[in-house]
Amino acid sequence: MGRWSRQLAPRFVSWLRIGDGAHWLDVGCGTGAMTMAICANASPASVVGCDPSEPFVEYARSEARDPRASFAVAGVDRLPERPGGFDSVTSLFAFNFFPEAGAAILEMRKRTAPGGVVSACVWDYAGGMEFLRRFWDAAVSLDPKARALDEGRRFPICRPDALTAAFDSGGLAGVRWEPIEIATEFASFDDYWRPMLGGTGPAPSYVASLEVEQRTELARRLEAALPRTPNGTIPLTARAWAIRSQNL
């Protein structure tokens, strides 16, 4: 997922339209894709990225070269603070991992300056992530029990109606959302399939659980079903839902 997160992050930053010189808090920063996109595209005064995973934070620190960026090991229950609050508190592709989205929004709002922006972006697992949608459709055709692992079913917050309801319940004003779509083109079937063998994430973990024969049949069905361009690449798209609001 990392390469697609890095591709979409600048689009999300541009969509937010936060003014120059703002102080940002990046909640659930992971390996730093959003923090680095903010530094590159938003002219911030500072960006604090936080994540409960110490290895992620250490990696982000090692990769970030911008002096405006700093990182902290912290979850949504103990977010970093700034006197007067942050002008923009955001979260890229982390909301579905928070134990309770509503509680996370309230904590994000507490760290936001009056008039500041609270925002988030999530992948549309239910229908907009074509490379995952095709994977799970093929997996379920072989093994109906795989349906329970499908992110489209497991992460109901990753829909605009659920996101809007969560932000509305947090007492935020001017809530609005839009889809952001990117191309996810794979050079070959091997380029598509190899990440599925890594064992990290729901789809790769499911592949790792299969017997060799089952894994081979799943790969065969996917390779036969995926679209191809004349030069052999696999042209798919990925959609995310972006949402922003104002802290009054």
Letter for the amino acid at 148?
A
Report H helices in the chain.
2-16, 33-41, 54-63, 101-110, 130-142, 151-154, 160-169, 189-193, 202-209, 212-225
* pLDDT of 170: 87
- What's the rounded Cα separation, in Å, for the pair 98 and 67? 29
H/E stretch holding 235 = strand 234-246
Following DSSP, what letter does each residue of 25-69 receive, concatenated?
EEET-TTSHHHHHHHHHS--SEEEEEES-HHHHHHHHHH---TTE
Q: Which of 34, 9, 2 is nearest to 240 (CA)?
A: 9
Give Cβ neighbours of residue 144 (< 8 Å, ≥ 6 apart): none
- What's the rounded Cα separation, in Å, for the pair 33 and 209? 30
H/E stretch holding 172 = none
**Residue 183: helix, strand or coil by DSSP?**
strand
pLDDT tens track, the chain, 248 positions = 778 999 999 999 999 999 999 999 999 999 999 999 999 999 999 999 999 999 999 999 999 999 999 999 999 999 999 999 999 999 999 999 998 999 999 999 999 999 999 999 999 998 899 999 999 999 999 999 999 999 988 999 999 999 999 999 988 999 999 999 999 999 999 999 999 998 778 899 999 999 999 999 999 999 999 999 999 999 999 999 999 999 98
- What's the rounded Cα separation, in Å, for the pair 2 and 29? 12
* pLDDT of 144: 95
DSSP state of 116: E
User: What is the CATH code of the structural domain delimited by 2-124+159-183+239-246?
Assistant: 3.40.50.150
Q: Which of 85, 103, 90, 8 is nearest to 49 (CA)?
A: 90
Give Cβ neighbours of residue 184 (< 8 Å, ≥ 6 apart): 4, 130, 131, 236, 237, 238
Letter for the amino acid at 46?
S
* pLDDT of 127: 85
DSSP state of 179: E
* pLDDT of 74: 97
Beta strand 234-246 pairing with 173-186: antiparallel
Domains in the chain: boundaries: 2-124+159-183+239-246, 126-153+188-232
